[in-house]
Chain A
Amino acid sequence: MQRKTLVRVLLGLLFIVSFSGFAQDEHGMEVKEVAPGEKGSKTKKEEIKEFINHHLLDSHDFNFFGSTNEETGETHHYGFSLPVIIWDGGLHTFMSSEFHHNNGVATSNGNHYTLHHEKIYRTDAEGTLNYDKEHGDHPTNVRPLDFSITKSVVMMLVVGLLLIWLFRSLAKSYAKNGSLPKGAGRFFEPIVLYIRDDIAIANIGEKKYKKYLPFLLTTFFFIWFLNMFGLTPLGVNVTGNIAVTTGLAVIVFLITTFTGTKDYWKHIFDPLGDGMPWAGKILIYIILVPIEILGLFIKPFALLIRLYANMTAGHVVLMSLVGLIFIFKSWIGGPLSFGLSFAISLIELLVALLQAYIFTMLAALYFGFASESHADHEVHEGEIQHL
């Protein structure tokens, strides 16, 4: 029965992924048609590159797909606009659809704003952007603090609600069903148990894992679900956004720092302990202690870069392969690219799970270091001496 459910879930995912291939085709079409109208002459390669870059960024609109009028070259986007919230000497709120009227300039309380590569700049009424030609091609206009509810924020909310609904119903099904899971819970319960037994208890230890377990579970499912949503036709790239991974890593860093035991800090500032006279220690500590302190920050930094890079790379590869279809435009290249992108999609399914696992696993490992007590510590050192 459980196996049957698993097979069904996998089949469902396969369906979604194969569908995403088509959906991204549609996105590709959109670029192909839109770009000439807007930007004049550009090679197809550049168009695709731009489209991919655009996709990797967060968006102020929630677009499902767009279609272009062949004659006018105008694109109509199907989706919905999202609220824009900016702090620029005062609170400005308006819907993102404002950016699409009036030559791309939104007006709020006498200030004018425009979007350039999904970033909001303050401009004049005409929407002029001054470019800094020396340092790349960035506009030099003022960027107000942007607290907009973007596509990524919406996706995080959706995933959050989904998680709450899913695991709330799992929790309830225990009461009804005589402490046995029901339905989707049969699929998720083993994962919860795996995280408890093989991630939390294995890395943190039987005594202290309970404190960290809710965080580990939430992190795992949050990342996994966002990764999976990234593979759907919705085309959101939340976990491939550096701000999101930074947020997660910052929380890991804060938890590690504030739950660190005396032994943890001693390990950082006095790693050799009583094994060496103080005169010798000073010489070594000049190098060792800064490295240990740096390590405190490098650990979560590695977490955030790993997740960001993996998810971004996956999306780039996948979309490039889809883009190849429009470059080859042949009966051989098309199916070949489709086959390749399908294969990569399957790998991405694995990566989605793997990255969530690795993030959770490493977070648990850091928590394990932080909550290490003296007794564990000695065992640990003993092991090292044996090695």
Chain B
Amino acid sequence: MKSFSTLASLPGRLLLGSAAALTLLACDPDNDPNPGPAPVVTNSVFVINEGNFGRSNADISLFSKASNSVINKSLFASVNKMPLGDVAQSMAVRDSLGYIVVNNSNKLEVVSLFKFKSKATVKDLKLPRYFVAASSDKGYVTETVSYTTTFGQVSVIDLKTNQVTRSIAVGKQPEQLVVVGSRLYVTNNGDNTVTVINTTTDVVEGTITVGDGPNSVVADRNGRVWVLNSGKIVYNPNPTRLSKGSLSQIVPGQLTATTREMPSDQSSPGNLTINGSLDQLYYTYLGGVYTLGINEATLPTQPLIKRGGFYGLGVDPQDGTIYGGLASFSSADKVIRFKSTGAAIDSFTVLAGPNGFVFY
């Protein structure tokens, strides 16, 4: 578990939800040989509102846990007096900075989390999707490049200068990515693979076959990498149908995965998320939210939350409160909060297309 000690120096603020960049602090729960994360305190929830494609109306809404209310619906625009851009795909946190990936503006917007002032903009990315920081000096962003090409890429960003230093070819349509130790795991959503990159050398170590359409990834307290695969659309020839989604597990250092298939082909699982103690997984599926412990042998058949159809999913690492983002992309969309038992708490209104949550 050397990998964890390198990460243990990082602050205990973590991001969950879409980006799933994990920064871990050591703790020693009873009877657990692995160092788990320290308990964290979160005060604010940043809701990533994707916005409508082509209309540059993406923004971040700030929800205060203290007042249980949205303090600022359009946080970026109101602070910086300019729109955030077109299609906010995700947001990740490193130290006291937020990294917002603005997909159809081809940029990474770096903001201070204290006042949300724009600190830097990494421009000329190629349809960027997700960001993760491996250290205070180095970050990675996945880029689709083009929907017609076979290869997407991961660009390496120097977080001191906010410049792209190099780009690494990966699989088709790379989505979420996670750093475990000195390895970066990149889900290739257009394929059925995960690319493994050495974060010291930035060289591809290998490719792991998972299920069709890997879309989200988290690391658990044991350093294992969990990949959720959406399945893919099959034309038969009509009506449209899906191949079954699946959940894969990768043991660090190995270039193989064990994959468990989802029971139904009527829905695509998505939004793999993990709790604060990094031992309970959550994902959206069949219109609900499902959960399973990292040591459970079988996939759950009953949902934790039945209703939903959530576009974005987040779990507060402090208390396990579940945040589900409903996206109509038409009206001002809503976020519903649930206790960790699945009982609904309340809801609040944000902007169009809440696709993820950052707890800080």
A and B together in one complex: no
Residues of B near any A CB (own CB < 8 A): none
